[in-house]
């Protein structure tokens, strides 16, 4: 048994109320590693093609990586996977906090949840055991009172809770899963799947960390980062992920009024520095991490934001702020609080509201449709009101709970052109007309538009930058390149980078601590005892991107789904030197270069030779089950 793992995977069937424990082989662990790897494997091998994502046939996987739960900055992450009710393809949300570490200490590497309970329940996982408990009295509660009720019932405030809010219970298609009420597995609607199973929460408490063969190296790595993080990550500590908002606005990279513009006139009011100087009351962290990049905010009247729900990240300030034309930081903080209380992904919620605002201003929907709400850009009160309507599926909220792609189809009248989404998932708050490689990443992402397992071109544009010296050089990439380049050199970098980001979702290791490639390989070796390498880890990421791709193909996705909203092929009205329309021909060629670099054919289908090389030869039989392509 490799170090770092428990060697046990818990399987719970909510329909029958039964459970079992499986003990995978060492080969399984080294092939699939954890996190995304476990998700993709179990979904590919155990789901029938074409199932309803919100039906009992779907499975929900809570998965940890080998690094999760060990005493090292960045080791607090876990993954949640299922077939996505938002995209209809591979679904995954990755999240920090303390729940993942507690689950590892409780004795399991993953939980596979099957079926559907006839009544609301939660799982109580502790020291190698699992109980299915009644959740009737907490069903319908916001996340904070629900967490407090679970901890009170179990008699231990140190119990860590992973749960859904009312949005998940009502199966909003982009409902998220919350760890510790302020850490969100936000994307692809995993909260809706959890709600469809009548599963309110998973509570965990454990007292034993799996043994590792080289604790001295982990201690050394932890000390190195603790001694150097202020030099490496000072900006993240000072102002959190929102620290770069003002720079993005100045360079034309801040999504504004539903991506119609790249700069926001009130950006200064939303930036991390403003938050630090006004409403910030504390900094929070994840398990064992010294970075403390999480924000904790508090406001008085008229919003009265509860600091127990943390504070807004950059994505939230972009989605509920500039993308909706809202320049009131306290209103955005209230929106962040409501999303965490209700269990809504702030990105999809904000982007869907911004879509509705553009439709409203262009006359595609009216006050009759909105229930009298003046749903215009800049109306903070409307934004906040609609968030609650979405979570409750009331009024206009019932339509917007479906996500902007489905809402646009129902509205008609050309509304699809205002839906900023790929594969049904709303775009995060990064502008493809500033970062052109990122635009390719939106197109080919297996989960729909995503920024975390993507390339942010601006990090690789300057000779001597940390991303060139400390990261890319370890992959053999030695020169910077323009952020709007989509040539062979950029796509080589892109391929390596997105494979590495996929690996990080397998390890349970956060990307914010600056361990980079070589140190990451040393960490994995120290935890597991494997004599691993950057090469092997890169192949793990490639294997998982290919396996996720194969899952989507089996669900009927084709290269035609690797698209980008038409808006990004057109320049802003007020162009900046740093931004330009994505060149359609260059983008198409870049996609094809990526397919070929990954060992896929011209249609983006993995070849048999590539599957065999990645030890995924068995996937070819699954690809043969692919249905005829359907219009999306």
Q: Is residue 246 part of a domain?
A: yes
Query: Is residue 270 domain-shared with residue 361, that is, in the same domain?
Result: yes
Would you say 418 and 375 are in contact if contact means Cβ atoms under 8 Å apart?
no
281-297 tens-digit pLDDT: 999 999 999 999 999 99
Per the prediction, the chain carries an average pLDDT of 96
Whether the per-residue pLDDT at 471 is higher than 90: the answer is: no
- Check which CATH number belongs to the domain holding 88 and give it: 3.60.9.10
Last residue of a domain, one of 426, 456, 488: 426
Query: Is residue 164 domain-shared with residue 20, that is, in the same domain?
Result: yes
Q: Is residue 327 part of a domain?
A: yes
**Where does the pLDDT of residue 468 fall: very low under 50, low under 70, confident under 90, or very high at 90 and above?**
confident
Check: pTM over 0.95? Answer yes or no. Answer: yes
- Please tell me the total count of domains within the chain: 3
Q: Output the pLDDT for position 628.
A: 65
Q: Output the pLDDT for position 629.
A: 61
Q: If residue 492 lies in a helix (H) or strand (E), which one and from where to where?
A: helix 488-507
User: Cα 519–520–522 angle (5° rounding)?
Assistant: 60
Q: CB within 8 A of 253, min separation 6: which ones? A: 262, 430, 431, 433, 434, 435, 458, 578, 579
- Check which CATH number belongs to the domain holding 355 and give it: 1.10.569.10
40-80 tens-digit pLDDT: 999 999 999 999 999 999 999 999 999 999 999 999 999 99
Query: Is residue 534 domain-shared with residue 579, that is, in the same domain?
Result: yes
Which residue from 613, 481, 597, 595 is spatially nearest to 549, judged by alpha carbons?
Answer: 595
Whether the per-residue pLDDT at 625 is higher than 90: the answer is: no
Distance CA 320, CA 398 (A): 19
Q: Is residue 3 part of a domain?
A: no
Query: Is residue 440 domain-shared with residue 345, that is, in the same domain?
Result: no
Percentage of the chain modeled with pLDDT above 90: 95
Q: Is residue 546 part of a domain?
A: yes
Tell me the average pLDDT across 513-534. 96
**Where does the pLDDT of residue 336 fall: very low under 50, low under 70, confident under 90, or very high at 90 and above?**
very high
CA atoms within 13 A on the CB side of 469: 6
Would you say 127 and 207 are in contact if contact means Cβ atoms under 8 Å apart?
yes
Whether the per-residue pLDDT at 362 is higher than 80: the answer is: yes
Q: Output the pLDDT for position 73.
A: 98
Measured in degrees and rounded to the nearest 5, phi and psi for residue 611 equal -60, -45
Last residue of a domain, one of 157, 180, 205: 205
Q: Is residue 115 part of a domain?
A: yes
574-590 tens-digit pLDDT: 778 899 999 999 999 99
Q: Is residue 72 part of a domain?
A: yes
Query: Is residue 441 domain-shared with residue 422, that is, in the same domain?
Result: no
Query: Is residue 139 domain-shared with residue 276, that is, in the same domain?
Result: no
Would you say 190 and 148 are in contact if contact means Cβ atoms under 8 Å apart?
no
Tell me the average pLDDT across 155-179. 98
Query: Is residue 402 domain-shared with residue 449, that is, in the same domain?
Result: no
Distance CA 339, CA 401 (A): 13
Last residue of a domain, one of 205, 221, 256: 205
Which residue from 424, 594, 434, 582 is spatially nearest to 498, judged by alpha carbons?
Answer: 594
Query: Is residue 88 domain-shared with residue 171, that is, in the same domain?
Result: yes
Q: Is residue 581 part of a domain?
A: yes
- The range of the structural domain enclosing residue 525 comes to 436-623
- Check which CATH number belongs to the domain holding 616 and give it: 1.10.599.10
DSSP result, 569-619: GS--SS--TT--PPPHHHHHHHHHHHHHHTTB-TTSPBPHHHHHHTT-TTH
Percentage of the chain modeled with pLDDT above 70: 99
Distance CA 608, CA 616 (A): 9
First to last CA, the chain: 44
Q: Output the pLDDT for position 466.
A: 83
User: Cα 164–167–171 angle (5° rounding)?
Assistant: 95
Range in 196-205, 537-546, 569-578 the model is least confident about: 569-578
What DSSP designation does 627 have? P
Q: Is residue 419 part of a domain?
A: yes
Q: Which residue(s) pair with 284 in the sheet?
A: 294
404-451 tens-digit pLDDT: 999 999 999 999 999 999 999 999 999 999 999 999 999 999 999 999
Query: Is residue 400 domain-shared with residue 484, that is, in the same domain?
Result: no
């Amino acid at each position: 048994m490799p170090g770092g793992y428990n060697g046990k995977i818990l399987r719970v069937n909510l329909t029958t109320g039964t459970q079992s424990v499986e003990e995978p082989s060492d080969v399984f662990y080294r092939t699939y590693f954890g996190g995304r790897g476990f998700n993709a494997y179990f979904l590919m091998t155990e789901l029938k093609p074409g199932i309803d994502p919100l039906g009992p046939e779907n499975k929900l996987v809570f998965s940890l990586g080998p690094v999760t739960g060990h005493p090292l900055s960045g080791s607090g992450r876990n993954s949640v996977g299922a077939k996505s009710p938002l995209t209809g393809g591979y679904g995954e949300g990755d999240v920090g906090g303390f729940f993942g570490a507690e689950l590892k200490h409780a004795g399991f590497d993953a939980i596979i949840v099957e079926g559907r309970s006839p009544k609301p329940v939660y799982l109580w996982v502790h020291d190698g055991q699992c109980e299915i408990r009644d959740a009737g009295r907490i069903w319908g509660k916001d996340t904070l009172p629900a967490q407090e009720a679970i901890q009170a019932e179990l008699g231990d405030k140190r119990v860590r809770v992973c749960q859904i809010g009312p949005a998940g219970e009502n199966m909003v298609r982009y409902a998220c899963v919350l760890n510790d009420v302020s850490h969100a597995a936000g994307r692809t609607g995993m909260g809706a799947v959890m709600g469809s199973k009548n599963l309110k929460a998973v509570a965990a408490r454990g007292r034993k960390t799996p043994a590792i063969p080289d604790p001295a190296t982990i201690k050394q790595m932890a000390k190195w980062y603790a001694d150097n993080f202020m030099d490496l990550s000072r900006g993240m500590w000072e102002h959190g992920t929102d620290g770069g908002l003002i720079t993005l606005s100045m360079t034309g990279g801040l999504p504004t009024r539903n991506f119609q513009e790249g700069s926001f006139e009130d950006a200064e009011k939303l930036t991390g520095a403003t938050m630090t100087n006004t409403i910030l009351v504390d900094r929070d962290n994840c398990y064992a991490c010294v970075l403390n990049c999480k924000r904790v905010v508090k406001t008085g009247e008229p919003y009265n934001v509860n600091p127990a729900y943390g504070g807004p990240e950059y994505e939230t300030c972009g989605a509920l702020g500039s993308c909706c034309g809202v320049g009131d930081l306290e209103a955005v903080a209230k929106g962040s609080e409501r999303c965490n209380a209700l269990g809504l992904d702030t990105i999809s919620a904000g982007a869907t509201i911004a879509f509705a605002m553009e439709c409203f201003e262009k006359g595609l929907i009216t006050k009759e449709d909105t229930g009298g709400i003046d749903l215009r850009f800049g109306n903070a009160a409307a934004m906040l009101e609609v968030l609650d309507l979405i979570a409750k599926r009331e009024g206009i909220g019932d339509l917007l709970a479906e996500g902007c792609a489905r809402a646009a189809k129902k509205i008609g009248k050309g509304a699809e052109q205002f839906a900023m989404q790929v594969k049904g998932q709303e775009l995060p708050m990064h502008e493809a007309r500033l970062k052109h490689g990122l635009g390719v990443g939106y197109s080919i992402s297996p989960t729909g538009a995503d920024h975390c397992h993507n390339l942010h071109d601006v990090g690789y544009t300057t000779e001597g930058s940390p991303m060139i010296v400390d990261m890319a050089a370890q992959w053999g990439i030695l020169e910077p390149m323009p952020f709007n380049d989509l040539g062979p050199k950029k796509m080589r970098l892109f391929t390596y980078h997105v494979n590495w980001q996929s690996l990080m979702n397998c390890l349970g290791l956060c990307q914010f601590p600056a361990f980079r490639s070589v140190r990451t390989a040393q960490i994995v070796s120290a935890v597991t005892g494997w004599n691993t390498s950057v090469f092997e880890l890169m192949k793990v990421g490639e294997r998982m991107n290919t396996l996720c791709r194969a899952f989507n193909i089996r669900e009927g996705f084709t290269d035609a789904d690797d698209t980008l909203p038409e808006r990004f092929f057109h320049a802003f009205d007020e162009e900046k030197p740093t931004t330009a329309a994505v060149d359609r021909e260059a983008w198409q060629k870049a996609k094809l270069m990526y397919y070929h670099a990954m060992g896929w054919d011209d249609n983006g289908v993995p070849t048999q030779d590539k599957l065999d090389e990645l030890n995924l030869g068995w996937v070819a039989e699954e690809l043969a089950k692919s249905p005829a392509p359907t219009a999306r």
